Every structure is written in C-alpha cells, then in structure tokens.
Amino acid sequence: MTGTGLEKPTHFVVFQPSGRRGQIEEGTWLLDAAHDLGVELETICGKMRTCGKCKVRIEEGSFERYGIESSRTNLSKIIEKEHEHLGTALDDGYRLACAARVLGDVVVFVPEESRAVKQVVRKSATERVINVQPAIRKVYLELRPPTLQNPLGDWERVTEAMHRVFHLDNLAIDYRTLLELSKTLRAGHWQVTLTLWMNREVVRVQPGLVDGSIGLAVDVGTTTVAGYLCDLKTGAVLTTEAIMNPQVSYGEDVMSRITYAMTHDDGLAKLNKAIIDGLNAIARNATDRIGLTPDEILEVVLVGNTAMHHLYLNIYPEHVGKAPFPPTLHHSIDVKARDLGLLVHPSANVHVLPIEAGFVGADNVGVLIAEEPYNQDAMALIIDIGTNGELILGNRQKLISSSCATGPAFEGAHIKFGMRAAPGSIERVRVDINTLEARFKVIGKDLWNDELEPDQVGARGICGSGIIEVVAEMFRAGIVDKTGRFTKGLTHRRLRKGEEGDEYILAWANETSIGRDITVSIKDIRALQLAKAAMYAGAKLMMRRLGIPKLDRVILAGAFGSYIDRERSLLLGLFPDCALPNIYAVGNAAGDGARIALLNTDKRDEANRIARQIDYVELTVDPNFEREFMYAMHFPHMKDAFPNIEAWLAKEGAAPAVLAGLPKAAPAQAIPSVVAGGS
Amino acid sequence: MTGTGLEKPTHFVVFQPSGRRGQIEEGTWLLDAAHDLGVELETICGKMRTCGKCKVRIEEGSFERYGIESSRTNLSKIIEKEHEHLGTALDDGYRLACAARVLGDVVVFVPEESRAVKQVVRKSATERVINVQPAIRKVYLELRPPTLQNPLGDWERVTEAMHRVFHLDNLAIDYRTLLELSKTLRAGHWQVTLTLWMNREVVRVQPGLVDGSIGLAVDVGTTTVAGYLCDLKTGAVLTTEAIMNPQVSYGEDVMSRITYAMTHDDGLAKLNKAIIDGLNAIARNATDRIGLTPDEILEVVLVGNTAMHHLYLNIYPEHVGKAPFPPTLHHSIDVKARDLGLLVHPSANVHVLPIEAGFVGADNVGVLIAEEPYNQDAMALIIDIGTNGELILGNRQKLISSSCATGPAFEGAHIKFGMRAAPGSIERVRVDINTLEARFKVIGKDLWNDELEPDQVGARGICGSGIIEVVAEMFRAGIVDKTGRFTKGLTHRRLRKGEEGDEYILAWANETSIGRDITVSIKDIRALQLAKAAMYAGAKLMMRRLGIPKLDRVILAGAFGSYIDRERSLLLGLFPDCALPNIYAVGNAAGDGARIALLNTDKRDEANRIARQIDYVELTVDPNFEREFMYAMHFPHMKDAFPNIEAWLAKEGAAPAVLAGLPKAAPAQAIPSVVAGGS
C-alpha cells in the first residue's frame, strides 16, 4: 500500500481445483492472493518461509510481459528458501505461495495437502460435509536464542514471536506444558512447534517442525463405549476401539448405577474409576494399534447420556435420577484431562458436550449435530435406541426431545434366551406363513440354519434384532395375534407350553451349543411389547404436541438401530407409520456427533445453541401417556393405521387374520393436536 | 427514571465518617446514593436484601416534611426484611441501605464493618495504605428449586441468577468446585454463598450465608520461608508462620541447589517436593493455629528469587544458573493449587509474582510493589540482603535492578564461629577503643555479657548481624585497619595467632556453651570483605549507570536487614554513604509484597508492569566491575568518601588512624556518569 495516487496493475489469478479466480494487484504474495480469493492454504509458520507447507504447482503463466527469470510462471524469482523446501519439485512447477509474488496472469493448482481447511464427508442417508476446524492448531516458530543483551524469558520470547508472526496476543501456556518449555526450546535449537488450543493456550511444545495432531472422540454408552481416534489435520478416523462399559458390573442400566452410587459410600468413586479406566484403555489400545502412545492425544470429546455424563465427570448423579431430574450442568464444559484422570497428554482438554435435560444427554446432542434436523424441512423422528430410548421430533421450525424407559429388552435382556449381539446369537429370523417353520441365522455364520448341518449352527441365544424379527415373523405368520397372545387352538411341533406359558421353539436343541431348545415365550413377547409401547407412546405424544399427523422420516440412531430390520420393526409398531425407504439407520450418530465436535469447534457452539433451544418434554407426566401406552401394546397398534406396513404385508404375505386385524386408515384428524383433546 | 418531564425533588444526603455529600433524587435507594457519592457499602447479595451487610445508622433526619412512619429518618418505611436482619438495632437508628429510599435530608453513618473497601496501613518508614481488593469475592444467592416446569441444570440456575442479580456473565466454575455444586445447593436449601475468583470463576460453594475468606502469602527465601495468613476481607494478618526452607538439605545456596537438580536424575523432583511439603506445613500450621483447616485457604501468592521460583513451580532451573540466565518465564502466572500439589482448597489459585531477570526474582518484585520507589522522587537504593544480594536503584524517573553474589557470609556461613540468628548467637558487639575489650549480647538474653555471670552467658557463635558489628567495632577501635588486616605490632590478651592466622577473642570459653573461645579471624574478615565488596561494587556501578553521585535513601529489605546496625554497616562500607536517618530497614519487604499482591489485584498488574519496565543490569560483565570490587574491599572504601560516617565517628569516637585513613570527600564529579568514562 504505497501512498501514491498511481494504481498498481492487476493480474488474473485462478486457483484450481476450486476454480476461484479474480484480479490481483501486482506484487501480492500468492498466499495472500489465495486468501483474498477465498482459498485457504496450509501454513504453520506464519509466512516465515520456514515450514514449507504452502506449496502450490503453477499450471500456466508465461514470460512475455516481464521476461523475468522464473520457472515458467508469471511470478517473482525463486528464492533460496524454496530450493531448500522444494528441491527437485521446483522442476515440476512447484513454488511456495509465501515466497512468490504475482507479476502476471497465473493458474495455480493447490494440491490436497496444501489446503488448509480439510473436509470430511460423512456417509449417511444424507451426505454431510464437515469442515475440519478443530480446537487444536500447530504453529512453527524459529526464535533467536537469549543473549546477555537480550536475556528475555523463554515464554516471553515465545509470546513476542507469536505476536509478531501470528498476531496472537494474550496467549497462555498450560502449567504442565510450561514445565517442558525450556528443555524443548533448547532441544530444538530454538526451532519449535507449538500446539495451540482455541488460539489461546499452548498445550504442547515439540522440538523442530512437527505437523499433525490426534484427538479422541468417545461415545460413552450405558453398555458400549466407542472411541474414534482422529487425525485433527485431515479429519480422518485413524482407528476405532469399542469396549463394554466397565460400569456394567455395578448395574446393567442407568437407574441401577445411580442407585449404586447413592447406596454405597464409595459408589460414585468406583463407578467413576471404572469408566475412566475404560477410557484410558480405549486411548491406550487405539494409539497402540497405530504405533503411537496415548500422550499424543491432544483433545478429547466425550458424549454420553446424562447419567454417564455425571459419572465420567465424577459428579454425584442422585438428582438426575429423580424428578424433576435437574442435571448439575447443561452447558458443555472444558476440563483438563489430568483433572479427570485421563492418561492422554497432560495438557489436553476434554470437551464434554452439553446435555439437554433429564435422561436426554450429551449423546442425544451428538445425534442432533450429526443429523441436523434443525436444518431440514422434513419432519423427522430420530430414535436413539439403547438401554434408554431417546427421541427427537421436529424440523427447522420446531424441535422437541424426550426419553422413554424402554428397558433393556431391545438389547436382549429380560428375554429368556436373550443375549447381547455376539457370535452364536440369532439375529435374523423368517417364519413360513404356511408351514409355521422357522429359519434363522446366527452371528458369525454366513449361512442360514437350514443350509448347515444342525451341529454346525451353534445358536446360543437371541440378540435384540433377533427378538424383533422372530416376534414380527410370529405375528405375520399368525402364531401370535395383535394383542401378543398365542393364537388359540393352533397346534404345531414348534408350539408348546413351557415353564413361562406358551412358547415357540425357534431353534432345536441340536442346532444350539447350549443343548436346549431356544424358545420365545409369551413372557418374552410381553417384555418386548412393554418396551415398544413405551417408545411408540413417547413418539405419539410428541407428534401430538407438535400437531403432526405423520412422519416424513424415521431415523434410527445407535449401533443397534443399524441391525434392526425396518419392515419388521414397523410391523411390530416400534414407531408410527412411515414410508419404508424413509426409515433408515445412521449408525452411532452420537459417536458421529462426538467426532464432529472433535473436528469442528463451530459445531460445539451449535451443540450448545441447539441444546438450549430444543424443548424437552417430560412424557411420563402427560395425562394421555397411560392410554397411549395401552394402545401401543398391540402389534402394530390398537388404533393407528399403518398404510405402509399394510402395503408391505400385502406384497410379502401374511396370515389372513393379520391383514384383517390392522386398524383402518382414518382421516388426518385421527391424530388431533393436543389442544383439541384426546383421540 | 420515569419518562415524565417533571423533575423529581432532590435531598441533601451526607455519609459519615467520610463526609461525602450531595443532592440525591427522591426515591433513590440509600445504597445507590452511597455509590453515587463514592461511598462503597458492603453487600454480598446484590441488593436482594438477603445478606444484611449494608447496615447503616441514621444520624439525622426528621419527619416534618413527610410525616412518614419511619424510624427517625427521612427515609421510606422499615420493611419486614429489616426487622429480620436488624432486630433491636432498628431502635438505635440502623437501617439496611438496600431497603431504604431517600425521602428527605439525611445524615448517615457507615460503620466500619459496612464499608466495602477495607484498607490496611503498612507500617514502614513511609506509611502506605493498601486497599483490600483481593482476587476473591463472596456473593450470596437465594435460588428457586428446580421443578418439572423448570428443570434447569444447577449450574445454569446459578449463572442465570448471577446474571440477573450481579450482572456477571461468562462465569465459569472450577471443575473441582462443580463436583460439590449439586449437594451444596441442596444442603443450603437453595441458599448458597459462592466464592468468585477475579469475578470470572466460581472456586467455592458453601451452603447458606457465609462471609469472609482467607489467603496465604509466602516469601520463599533460599534459607527461610515465611508465610502470612491473611483475612481477605479486612486485610488483617491472622497469623504468620516461618520455617527453614527444607531444600537446605540439598544445598545451602541457590547455585548448589541448581547443581543438585542438574546432577541428580530426580534432583528437581526432590527439591520441588521439599518446598511443596514446606509450603503445606506452613498452610497446615498457620490455619491450625487459628482453628481452621488448610482447605479454607482460597488464594495463595508466592514470591521467591528466580531459582526458588523455578523450583516451587517444578521447572528445571538449569538455564537460570548460567549466562545469559534466561528464566523460563518472567510474567506472573496463575496456577491451580492442585497442579502444584498444594493442599489448600483444591480450586484455589496460586498467583506467582513476575520475576525480572537472572537471579533477580519475584521476591525482588515483591520489594518493589511494597516500597514503590517508582512513585518517589528520592533516589533510593533498596538492598535485599539474603544469601544473594538484590539491588534496586532509582526513583520515578528511572529504575534499574541487579544482583550480586554476596555469598552466605552475611548469614553467618563461611565464618568460623558463624551461625544462624538463633538463641546463643552473638548479635551485638561493642569494643572499647581504649581498652580494646569487647562486650556482647547474645540472642535470648536481655543483658550484655558483662552484666551476667560468665556461666550465664552461653554464647554459641556469631550471627550475621554480629559479624558486621564485631568487625566494624574492631575497625573503629583500630584492631584491624582499612585493608582488613590486623594492625601490626598490636598486642592484647584478646589478640593471638590461631590456626587461620591472626584472631581476636570475642568471647572467652567460660562465657560460651561450647567450651572454646569464640574468635574472629583474618579469614572471617576476608569473607566479610568479599561479600560487602560485591554488594558495594554492584551499588556503585548501578549509580554510575544512572549518573547519580549520591543516595537519598538506603532501604534495607529482608529479615536480616532489620537486625543489622546502620552505622556499623555503613562504617564497613556495605553500601555507599548516605545520611544516617535515611538508612532504614523495612523488614521482609518481599513478604510484604506478597501480602500486598494477595490483598490487591491492581498491585499484581503493577508488579507485571514494573517488572517489565525495570532494567536489569548484569554487573559481572561490566568492565569496571573488577576494579570497583577491589576498591570496595577496603573499610569503608579505598576511594569514596563517607562524610556521614566521618561525622558519626567524630562523635562516637574511634582510633585516630581510622579517622585519618578515611578517603577525603571529593567534588561531585568523583562519580561521573558512565558516558563520561571511568573514574
């Protein structure tokens, strides 16, 4: 910016592959030109030409206007530093964008590794792109050593350079990192890479130029804890690691753990230690698998339901376990890993996602920022099926959430032959509507039972998705009726009276590894009915609150959601009717949400905003809950029509009584808004 | 502030004892009127009328204008809350300033306990007033319990109230305090006192209304560690506690400890643990003495020289031990007590005062903010005498600092019969210039040795101040000459040749508890000469840098400075000549500085500002140092005149050779500025 009235000439600059282009004033550094045109280039040295990260390839650019000695570009001369960093790549047209000035028209190609903002594409029913903008950033500094004339302290030497080179002020350094500073500066001969947290705190110092950082996102489920070790530069998942929540030994579900914490003097301490040990195991195993150590982890994001949230933060969970369920805090919180006892980098920050209310916790917020229903027109019901069912209903106009006590039936518990999804568990079932014979498939085998010799089948029990399939198929075949009772008068070699009443033999003893018939009893069906009715009633009451007659989408989150069969879960009435292609699973969306929050700090702000905006509705106190729950005990429902499942049954086949027994579609006012009173 | 054009009437309000007065609009709360007139009243409930702290006594105010029913004031009616808080005090004219509106002229007396800004007067040669404005503040909140309609999280319930009542936003809560929040809110039935740090972080929650906090200021000396337990509300010192620095077992002086840290694998860890254990002992003993526990301590301030600073922060001290002596950091730093291993309140903050350079550490900054030479016209030399001598020279125009390696002679080490100041050590000495006989006084006895029976004297050795006195007296009596040698040809029953050459018998064996004569040898005198010459040369070179011919003040800081005799230390030439009344001790100014920083956060900012502004001069590399050092080996000096000591000797009496041998006063140009070249 000279003060003369003469304007400098401009040149046409194009950046590929983005195609961003524009007129750039002569003499502008290519790095600044890129920035002006909206192309962010990698640089961790603050244009000091010491990191060599901003390399670009010159595609077009001729000499006719200036005839300057320059490697086939309309750019300023190659300087010594470029020889150092690029070597023979110079012959291929590479330059450092921080060392080349625009002197003529140029077309510049930005290689993937030089792009500052990486993106991660999340494969879901709807593809989403996440910009990689983590809390962690690396910068490289070359400092002058202290002298008697300038004996400035080491930290002040760093802050002075950070101000000068990166224009960052008010920088702090974490106490534990401060302890390493002086040695590291000297080990690196005053060339050092700093890791910054939120551009305000130095959390790591490393000698020399070191690029890349890793972070860990963990979804702490009541039963399963899933960790995602991520590259904080590229956003890539480096490895995943899942373990059973070690708190299981203190109680299978949330309430039993809260009770344990309340009734034992050291209950909270034990539960906290169990999960912290588990998180440390995940960090250790995941880093070990890729040849690193846990202290390479510089940032951690945790999500979990409200009880898990309190337990991993070591907060007494009594009050989230009883009405009115106020948590100790809603908002996200940043805690030093060392304060939590996490054995990652001692200066690492742990970001705990916000929670909504009661049992709807940070994991639900993870689902929200992953699925973004608040950015969609479609009216979606998001169901996170775990030991507790968590429900979100809404679109960009309005969003509400709730939770329902489904109990562990969907996970195979409280079912006589129920078991976790593991080798030997029956996960797929088909019942012939004519012969009433069953075929099934167990986890760990590629073939169905009737394609194997009986002694090769090795069934051990039925997992959650298997329970849904077998009961849905029994209903479709007319073995049980819409009330869940075994059809009267039916006789079959697979039907008998057992200790728990009527039962259907799914696997013969010789097909099992337990030496007993695997059966589905009236009691098992009752447990499933209770679970599904709670979920359906919850969804129904939420729809009523918003005055919504039908759903555009049903999104099944949670690992379990990925395995259950959409037709058969709809047939049983786990949730209200919806077009079958619009029912889809998104896997562990809570884990995805954790990973998104790890990679993008804007999404953390979004999480806090959404968690505050979403209305949590407490359904158990709704005066209509009991009646809705009772209606929903039927397969698929006592009152509500399921046109989509009706069409599917017509195509797929079903016992005549099933089709005849389905409630008939009523006009839209079948589901009046809550203002209009009961149905 | 109604929107009408009519102005409200105003009334004349006077606050006593400050006498602040002015016209106040009718209807204004007395608390706001006080604020408008510059009188800050105590209130920790944010005018919610729940704390009862703002009570005032109405001195004058009559009814004639309004005839309102009101306790002999021109104020609004007494309300129920005032009955609750004041009871019978209402009859004495007390009101709550938050509950009374101005309706007529009033004279209001503000009792001491209701004044918000307490002041502490520091008794020194120059009295200073410190406003009590600590980092710690308490506020009292009354919250509504959560309901199903408002199940807001506990922390959000607090932040919402803090915003509403105290207009504080962006409040954080320390992780360890968060863990106590939910229980405490319920224990206090939703009435809770929060302790805020810097108005931005909650560091303690207590049920109900609790006033007052305590803090600990510690001066970590190389030899002595002195702690001051302070009331953070009144500023009062509640108790003091001093211990020997436990690091002494790893080395007596700074260099030997740095060497220990460098040459032992776990050297730093041991040194750090020693001082942290020592600080914990101070916190424990001090709180125990006043019937409290260490976790009542909510804020800690530490000062120490650069080596101590690094060691208590657990920072490897290698580089501060060798040229160019860069510390790991200069600026003050706030660290959580738990990160340092301090067993005070786990959420307490530790504020470590900034350091200047090299060996001039945070303790010197403590001296600075206590003595404030930068606010004075007088040209002062501040000497902090410890194992290292630290020097500050200047006034409001310019300030420089330096350090000199005096060694431990001033503390009684490297002296044959030297010992620490403790019972049995000789601290006062007088030598009769005619008889050359000595009288002395030992610590722990009220009488001089010749006023006691010999076996009652019990001398064990000579402490630092005793060394200075005996050598000064031996010089005054002509026993040693200005070069420090024993005067040739002198014979006396107290003079003899010992193992270390000439020596003077100060105490006869029968006056000691060690069964041997206590002597002062030529070697002891040499050690003292080396120490005093280093200090004098340092001061002289600093004066030369600033072009200053003479000192207006000499301020002796450090506990040792309080015990040494100003005339005799000047006679020996520990520092350049100065008018005797202007030489004074200020006790442990470093400790005072720590206490000031504990009580007033503005002084922390001042400390950082001054530490940055002060020029540290490295004297050992000054080309004139060696020559100045040599000149300064003489008593009092080889070249420089001491008119003030000459006058004193003339009055007090001295051997004729002493007076004759003093250098004669030269014109002011005797000490030219450094620009003019050498002397």
The tens digit of pLDDT for each residue in A615-660 reads 888 887 889 999 999 999 999 999 999 999 999 999 999 999 999 9
Q: Please determine, looking at this structure, whether the domain spanning A136-207 carries the CATH number 2.60.120.10.
A: no
Task: DSSP for B526-574, please give it.
Answer: HHHHHHHHHHHHHHHHHHHHHT-SS-SEEEEESHHHHHS-HHHHHHHTS
From residue B26, give the alpha-carbon distance in Å to each of A601, B30, B74, B110, B551: 52, 10, 10, 20, 58
The reported pLDDT for the residue numbered A672 is 45
Contact A148 B618 (CB under 8 A): yes
* Range from A362-366, A478-482, A548-552 carrying the lowest mean pLDDT: A362-366
- Residues whose CB is less than 8 angstroms from the CB of residue B49 and which lie 6 or more positions away in sequence, other chains included: B79, B81, B85, B96, B98, B99
Given an 8 Å threshold on Cβ–Cβ distance, is B182 in contact with A621? no
Classify strands A214-220 and A297-304 as parallel, antiparallel or unpaired: parallel
Interface residue of B182, B313, B316, B352 to substitute, partner A, most A CBs within 10 Å: B182
- String of DSSP letters for A484-528: SPBPTT---TTEEEETTEEEEEEE-GGGBSSSS-EEEEHHHHHHH
C-alpha torsion A23→A24→A26→A29, nearest 10: -160
Record: contact B156-A331, CB cut-off 8 A: yes
Where do the domains of chain A lie?
Answer: 10-114, 136-207, 217-364, 375-399+529-661, 409-527
Which of A156, A158, A177 should we substitute to test contact with B (largest number of B Cβ atoms within 10 Å)? A156
Distance from the Cα of B539 to chain A's closest Cα (Å) equals 20
Confidence of residue A4 (pLDDT cuts 50, 70, 90): low
Q: Which residues of A touch B156 (CB under 8 A)?
A: 329-331
Chain B residue with CA closest to A320: the answer is: B153
Query: Residue B329 is nearest to which of A155, A319, A340, comparing CB atoms?
Result: A155
The answer to whether the Cβ–Cβ distance between A316 and B179 falls below 8 Å is yes
Pick the range with the lowest mean pLDDT from A121-135, A253-267, A544-558. Answer: A121-135
Residues of B in contact with A184 (CB under 8 A): none
Give the residue-averaged pLDDT of A244-252.
88
Name the closest residue on chain B to residue A313, using Cα atoms: B179
Q: What is each CA distance from A175 to A179, B597, B611, in whole angstroms?
A: 7, 21, 21
- Best of B144, B181, B202, B315 to disrupt the A interface (most A CBs within 10 Å) is B315
Report CB contact under 8 Å: A319, B186.
yes
The rounded Cα B364 to chain-centroid distance in angstroms is 10
Task: Evaluate if residue A253 carries a pLDDT over 60.
Answer: yes
Between B154, B175, B326, which is nearest A152 by CB?
B326
- Cα–Cα–Cα angle for B43, B44, B49, rounded to 5 degrees: 70
Would you state the pLDDT for residue B126? 52
CA-CA distance, B295 to B345, in Å (whole number)?
4
Would the CB atoms of A181 and B328 count as touching at under 8 Å? yes
How many Å apart are CA A432 and CA A504, to the nearest integer?
A: 14
CB contact under 8 A, B152 and A319: no
Mean pLDDT of chain A: 88
Closest CA to A36 of A65, A59, A13: A13
Task: Measure in Å the smallest separation between the Cα of A134 and chain B Cα atoms.
Answer: 22
Cα separation, B26 vs B9, whole angstroms: 6
Chain B residues with CB-CB distance to A314 below 8 A: 179
Residue A314 has its nearest CB partner, among B179, B181, B323, at B179
Residues of B in contact with A358 (CB under 8 A): 151
Q: What is the pLDDT of residues A336-391, one digit of tens each?
A: 999 999 999 999 999 999 987 655 667 778 888 888 899 999 999 999 876 677 89
User: Does residue A636 have a cis bond before it (omega within 30 degrees)?
Assistant: yes
pLDDT of B121 reads 61
Interchain contact, B313 vs A176, CB within 8 Å: no
Cα separation, B641 vs B636, in Å, equals 9
Q: What is the model's pLDDT at position A7? A: 77
Q: How many CB atoms lie within 10 A of CB B23?
A: 12
Q: Give A486→chain B minimum CA distance, Å.
A: 41
- Chain B residues closer than 8 Å to A338 by CB: 339
**CA-atom Rg of chain A in angstroms:** 30
Residue B426 near residue B466 (C-beta atoms within 8 A): yes
Among A148, A157, A318, select the one facing B621 at the smallest CB separation: A148
Distance CA A170, CA A172 (A): 6
Per-residue confidence band for A264, with pLDDT thresholds at 50, 70 and 90: very high
User: Which residue among A150, A182, A318 places its CB closest to the CB of B328?
Assistant: A182
Q: SS3 of B609, please? A: helix
Q: What is the pLDDT of residue A63?
A: 42
The DSSP secondary-structure symbol of A301 reads E
- Pair B215, B204: CB distance under 8 Å: no
Q: Does domain A217-364 have CATH number 3.40.718.10?
A: no
- Residue position matching structure tokens 């040695």: A183
pTM (2 d.p.): 0.81
Cβ-defined contact of B316 to A179 (cutoff 8 Å): yes
> Please, which residues have CB within 8 angstroms of residue B41's CB and are 6 or more apart in sequence?
B31, B34, B35, B53, B54, B56, B97, B110, B114, B115, B116
The predicted structure's pLDDT at residue B469: 96
DSSP string, A378-415: S-EEEEEESSSEEEEEE-SS-EEEEEE---GGGGTTTS
Residues of A in contact with B358 (CB under 8 A): 151
**Inter-chain CB proximity B326 and A357 less than 8 Å:** no
ipTM: 0.80
Residue of chain B minimizing CA distance to A612: B152
Query: Count of residues for chain A?
Result: 679
Q: For residue A500, what pLDDT is reported?
A: 87
**Burial track B606-633 (b if 16+ CB lie within 10 A, e otherwise):** bbbebbeebebbbbbebebbeebbebbb
Choose among A521, A519, A514, A516: nearest CA to A460: A514
Per the CB < 8 Å rule, is B179 touching A621? no
- Residue among A182, A313, A355 minimizing CB distance to B319: A182
- Give residue B408's pLDDT: 67
Which residue shows structure tokens 């799914």?
A: A506
Residues of B in contact with A316 (CB under 8 A): 179, 182-183
Per-residue tokens: B399: 């300030």
What is the side-by-side strand order in the sheet with A55-60?
A: A20-25, A10-16, A106-109, A55-60, A94-96
The single residue listed with the structure tokens 């009991």 is A626
Residue B54 tokens read as 């703002």
pLDDT profile of chain B (679 residues), mean per 10: 65 88 92 90 85 87 45 77 90 89 89 78 61 94 90 93 94 96 96 96 96 94 90 92 90 86 93 96 96 97 92 91 83 96 97 77 79 92 80 92 77 80 90 96 92 92 92 97 94 93 96 94 94 93 94 87 89 96 86 92 92 83 91 96 95 92 68 41
Residue A323 to residue B178, Cβ atoms within 8 A: no
Pairwise CB contact (< 8 Å): A179 & B339: no
A329:B157 CB<8 A: no
Q: Of the candidates B183, B316, B330, which has its C-beta nearest A153's C-beta? A: B330
Given an 8 Å threshold on Cβ–Cβ distance, is B179 in contact with A315? yes
Length of chain B: 679
Domain A217-364 in the same topology as domain A136-207: no
Tell me which residue in A155, A325, A339 faces B328 most closely, judged by beta carbons. A155
> Which superfamily does CATH assign the domain made up of A10-114 to?
Beta-grasp domain (3.10.20.30)
Tens-digit pLDDT profile for residues A444-467: 898 999 999 999 999 999 988 899
From the list A146, A179, A313, which residue is nearest B326 (CB)? A146
Per DSSP, A357 falls in state B
Q: Which residue has the tokens 């002011």?
A: B668
Kindly identify which residue of chain B lies nearest to residue A330, measuring between CA atoms. Answer: B153
A123: Cβ contacts below 8 Å, ≥ 6 apart:
none
Ranked by mean pLDDT, the top range of A109-118, A516-525, A557-566 is A516-525
- Count other Cβ atoms within 10 Å, centred on residue A350: 24
Q: Is the peptide bond before A324 cis (omega within 30 degrees of 0)?
A: yes
Per DSSP, helices labelled H in A139-240 are 154-166, 175-187
